[in-house]
């Protein structure tokens, strides 16, 4: 007798193969069989009319801190995610010497917009080495599986101290060898990869560039030697890809003999650079080496509200007068004080239009109860203002004050240079790409893209009106087996005998994303954006139900994943 049989569901197994009606049987946390009319089970679920798919594998998150205090890793666990990989973009919390944690918090706060007060209270830093950090992660049962990568910023600061963060010096040979040794140690202990940041967008909270920005070729090649000796791990990169940058990173991956994985987004200033980088990745693949681009499935959208980090009035002198009030008191003042509103909405005279974001109203959109992730320019704040004879500031303010001051706007600032998702379509359908820009756990007051696995299915599989849709078989394979294989996690992302019983049972017709909302549930009362979904009838991790009818069950079967995995 099986432990569980999910009967009569429409099985989309993660391989890309055509859907079929079948049963899925689970025994001892693994898929035991997939086929018609399987035998009896201790528990049976009738999934007629529902999609049965593998659990989603999200390879680009920043739960490095949250994973040490939160066993449920929301919002990701609300969106069918059963495995998360963090430590991306060269930031994280190990290795760390006694007294170094304030800098790592400062770095994470600046790069990933996670409040320092939250991290200072939530992360205990009761480890030093990266293997000890993995042990700390392994000690907590959780609702999803987690895996970590070794971040270059923490590694460099551990070995070089302040010299490694101030960009004034390069490491000497002894320090490079220390980085290589610690990289090898981390990978042998179970790190899934080594990650580095090479972008000027990444700065610590105190304004300093991320430590790995100034790492030169000798340092990268030295670390690659550590990866080569370990014989495992992915080299994950976030870079501006200036002249010679891709070549240096590819040389390190080639020396290591390990896959290269590059974060890839379209930026407005250079809207075709992503395609040049993708062409270079294809060149590496043609040469027989492993490489991919991590891409998103929707715009990278800044969420704006009266309680978020960024909104059109955040830099306004009048807003600064209100900044220390509670959200409720601030809303009351704005709702009742006519003179205050008039000063807030009046044209600025202090020469700060960029900070005021006045030039961005043409790319700023109301975010309704059913968020639109491919908004039309005709529905922008600027367009509404022109049609109604008001100022964009007045329109934006009205939207933000809606719902008792809980109204939201969205500003797509990457992957949306041309005002549609045609470029994203090209990205996600390219065979050299994997899904990997959701950033769960990061940018908590600005972005809420951890819900991307859900919008991947709803937007591209059902709701898109401004361009072609994509088959569910393709979309599910992209978010399951595709992401799992990118990190050598061959025991998941597929509904096949011997694979982990990580399973989603989805009412696709009812699948919906709710509006993002601001909550104050982080350590120290910290604020974050969350977004719920409806339509997840069941989610299983290793055969244990973690979500039922969109709510967490409280079960915690998730474990730390150490290194590449094989199906049994």
pLDDT of residue 167: 84
451 and 506 inside one domain = no
72-126 tens-digit pLDDT: 999 999 999 999 999 999 999 999 999 999 999 999 999 988 999 999 999 999 9
Q: Residue 20 belongs to what H/E stretch?
A: strand 20-27
Q: Which of 227-236, 278-287, 302-311, 533-542 has the lowest mean pLDDT?
A: 302-311
Cα torsion angle, 177, 180, 186, 188, sign: negative
269 and 123 inside one domain = yes
Report yes or no on 294 lying in a domain. Answer: yes
444 and 397 inside one domain = no
285-340 tens-digit pLDDT: 999 999 999 999 999 999 999 999 999 998 888 998 998 999 999 999 999 999 99
The span from the CA of 75 to the CA of 42, in Å, is 31
The residue out of 412, 427, 460 marking a domain boundary is 412
452-475 tens-digit pLDDT: 999 999 999 999 999 999 999 999
61 and 115 inside one domain = yes
Report yes or no on 566 lying in a domain. Answer: no
Is 514 a residue whose pLDDT tops 60? yes
CATH number, domain with residue 34: 2.30.40.10
Helices (H) then strands (E): counts for the chain: 19, 25
Beta carbons within 8 Å of 212's beta carbon, 6+ residues apart: 90, 152, 153, 156, 196, 197, 198
69 and 204 inside one domain = yes
Taking residue 207's Cβ as centre, other Cβ atoms within 10 Å add up to 8
Output the six-digit token pair for 343.
């000063």
Is 356 a residue whose pLDDT tops 60? no
Report yes or no on 557 lying in a domain. Answer: no
Question: Which residue do the tokens 């908004």 mark?
Answer: 375
Q: What mean pLDDT comes out for the span 55-81?
A: 98
Q: How far apart are the first and last CA of the chain?
A: 20
Q: What mean pLDDT comes out for the span 535-555?
A: 98
Taking residue 369's Cβ as centre, other Cβ atoms within 10 Å add up to 9
pLDDT of residue 359: 62
442 and 333 inside one domain = no
The residue among 346 and 439 whose pLDDT is bigger is 439
| pLDDT mean across residues, the chain | 95
Q: How many residues does the chain have?
A: 568
Domain, as residue range, for 7: 2-55+502-552
Number of domains in the chain: 3
Report yes or no on 9 lying in a domain. Answer: yes
Report yes or no on 492 lying in a domain. Answer: no
Report yes or no on 381 lying in a domain. Answer: yes
pLDDT of residue 568: 85
By C-alpha distance, which of 300, 564, 296, 302 is closest to 436?
Answer: 296
Report yes or no on 273 lying in a domain. Answer: yes
The span from the CA of 10 to the CA of 509, in Å, is 13
By C-alpha distance, which of 146, 74, 140 is closest to 556?
Answer: 140
The span from the CA of 447 to the CA of 516, in Å, is 9
Question: Which residue do the tokens 């339509």 mark?
Answer: 535
Taking residue 279's Cβ as centre, other Cβ atoms within 10 Å add up to 11
394 and 444 inside one domain = no
Report yes or no on 567 lying in a domain. Answer: no
46 and 77 inside one domain = no
365-421 tens-digit pLDDT: 999 899 999 999 999 999 999 999 999 999 999 999 999 999 999 999 999 999 999
Residue 61 pairs in a beta bridge with 440
The residue out of 445, 462, 486 marking a domain boundary is 486
pLDDT of residue 315: 84
Instruction: Give DSSP secondary structure letters for 239-251.
Output: E---TTHHHHHHH
3-state secondary structure of 304: strand
Our CA angle for 191, 232, 560, nearest 5°, is 30
List C-alpha distances in Å: 217 to 89, 246, 249. 18, 11, 8
408 and 432 inside one domain = no
3-state secondary structure of 435: strand
Q: Which of 99-103, 198-202, 282-286, 559-563 has the lowest mean pLDDT?
A: 198-202
468-496 tens-digit pLDDT: 999 999 999 999 999 999 999 999 999 99
Output the six-digit token pair for 140.
């907590």
220 and 104 inside one domain = yes
Question: Which residue do the tokens 């040469």 mark?
Answer: 287
27 and 73 inside one domain = no
The span from the CA of 391 to the CA of 433, in Å, is 42
177 and 280 inside one domain = yes
CATH number, domain with residue 192: 3.20.20.140
């Amino acid at each position: 007798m099986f432990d569980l049989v999910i009967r009569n569901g429409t099985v989309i197994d993660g391989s890309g193969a055509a859907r079929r009606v079948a049963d899925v049987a689970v025994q001892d946390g693994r898929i035991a069989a997939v086929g018609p009319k399987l035998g009896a089970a201790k528990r049976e679920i009738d999934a007629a009319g529902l999609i049965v798919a593998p659990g989603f594998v999200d390879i680009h998150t920043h739960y490095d801190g949250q994973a040490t205090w939160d066993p449920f890793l929301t919002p990701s666990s609300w969106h069918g995610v059963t495995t998360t990989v963090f430590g991306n973009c060269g930031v994280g919390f190990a290795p760390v010497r006694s007294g170094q944690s304030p800098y790592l918090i400062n770095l994470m706060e600046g790069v990933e917009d996670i409040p320092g007060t939250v991290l200072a209270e939530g992360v205990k830093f009761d480890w030093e080495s990266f293997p000890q950090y993995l042990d700390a992660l392994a000690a907590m049962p959780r609702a999803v599986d987690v895996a970590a990568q070794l971040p270059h910023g923490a590694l460099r600061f551990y070995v070089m101290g302040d010299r490694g963060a101030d960009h004034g010096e390069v490491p000497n040979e002894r320090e490079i060898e220390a980085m290589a040794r610690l990289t090898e140690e981390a990978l042998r202990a179970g790190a899934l990869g080594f990650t580095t940041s090479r972008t000027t967008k990444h700065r610590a909270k105190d304004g300093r560039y991320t430590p790995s920005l100034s790492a030169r070729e000798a340092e990268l090649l030295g670390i690659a030697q550590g990866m080569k000796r370990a014989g495992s791990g992915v080299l994950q990169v976030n870079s501006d890809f200036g002249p010679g940058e891709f070549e240096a990173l590819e040389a390190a991956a080639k020396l290591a003999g390990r896959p290269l994985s590059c974060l890839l987004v379209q930026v407005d200033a250079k809207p075709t650079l992503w395609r040049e980088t993708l062409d270079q990745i294809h060149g590496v693949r043609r040469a027989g080496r492993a490489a991919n681009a991590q891409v998103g499935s929707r715009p990278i959208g800044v969420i704006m509200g009266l309680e978020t980090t960024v909104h059109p009035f955040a830099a306004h002198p009048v807003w600064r007068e209100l900044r220390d009030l509670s959200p409720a008191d601030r809303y009351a003042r704005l709702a009742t004080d006519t003179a205050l509103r008039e000063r807030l909405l009046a044209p600025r005279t202090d020469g700060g239009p960029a900070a005021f974001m006045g030039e961005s109203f043409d790319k700023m959109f109301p975010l309704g109860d059913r968020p639109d992730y491919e908004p039309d320019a005709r529905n922008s704040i600027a367009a509404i203002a022109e049609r109604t004879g008001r100022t964009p500031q007045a329109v934006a303010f009205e939207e933000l004050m809606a719902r008792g001051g809980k109204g939201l706007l969205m500003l797509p600032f990457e992957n949306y240079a041309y005002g549609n998702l045609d470029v994203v379509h090209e990205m996600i359908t390219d065979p050299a790409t994997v899904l990997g820009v959701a950033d769960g756990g990061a940018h908590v007051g600005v972005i809420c893209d951890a819900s991307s696995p859900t919008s991947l299915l709803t937007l591209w599989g059902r709701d898109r009106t401004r361009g072609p849709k994509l088959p569910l078989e393709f979309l599910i394979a992209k978010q399951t087996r595709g992401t799992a294989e990118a990190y050598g996690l061959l025991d998941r992302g597929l509904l096949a005998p011997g694979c982990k019983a990580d399973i989603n049972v989805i009412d696709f017709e009812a699948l919906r994303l709710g509006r993002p909302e601001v909550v104050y549930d982080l350590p120290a009362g910290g604020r974050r954006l969350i977004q719920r979904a409806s339509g997840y009838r069941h989610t299983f991790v290793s055969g244990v139900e973690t979500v039922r009818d969109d709510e967490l069950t409280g079960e915690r079967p998730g474990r730390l994943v150490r290194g590449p995995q094989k199906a049994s």
